[in-house]
A = this chain, B = another copy of it.
Amino acid sequence: MIDEIDRRILMILQDNARTSNADIARAVAMAPSAVLERVRKLERKGVITGYEARIDPSKVELDLTAFTFVKTDEPVGAIDTGQQLAGVPGVQEVHYVAGTAAYLIKVRAPDTRSLADLLKVIGRLSTVRDTNTTVVLQTVKETGALPLGALPQPGE
């Protein structure tokens, strides 16, 4: 379904979504229009789901990152609460995780006061039992790029 050339195109676009077709074409030794055709097909197949500009949070007054475990009352399998959490401004990610029915969410806020407000909004949702927040002090690495190349070897 996805051949070696597609993988190389995906790696290039993950690294820089604005790489020109001409440059990609040179890298994979094809005509620019053929590259474009492959990219469009990858988009249609849902392999590429979009293109995002990455913004430095500190440059737009969003210095606070936090991860919050949200425990809920809802029946196992339902993700109603998840949808509600996803709709709260400042919530970047919502993952349903193993263990006690809970979500792990990633949150951005300008400061601790805003974070408190955000957690208050979440705490008010009817199915939310409690929350447990871990504040990030420093982010060493942060990328959406998937490991399309080599994965770690067991080693032994």
Contacts and interface: CB of A to CB of B under 8 A. Distances in A.
Interface size range on A against B: 35 or more
A143 B117 CA distance: 21
B134 A60 contact: no
B93 A146 contact: no
23 contacts: A2-B60, A14-B52, A15-B52, A17-B53, A45-B59, A46-B56, A51-B51, A51-B53, A52-B52, A67-B67, A67-B97, A67-B104, A79-B140, A93-B142, A96-B136, A96-B138, A97-B137, A98-B134, A99-B134, A108-B146, A108-B147, A109-B151, A118-B151
A110 B140 contact: no
The 8 A-B residue pairs whose C-beta atoms are closest, nearest first, are A13-B53, A17-B51, A82-B140, A86-B141, A94-B140, A96-B138, A95-B136, A94-B141
B139 A93 contact: yes
Interface of A: 2, 7, 10, 13-18, 45-57, 59-60, 62, 65, 67, 79, 82-83, 85-86, 88-99, 103-104, 108-110, 114, 117-118, 120-121, 124, 134-155
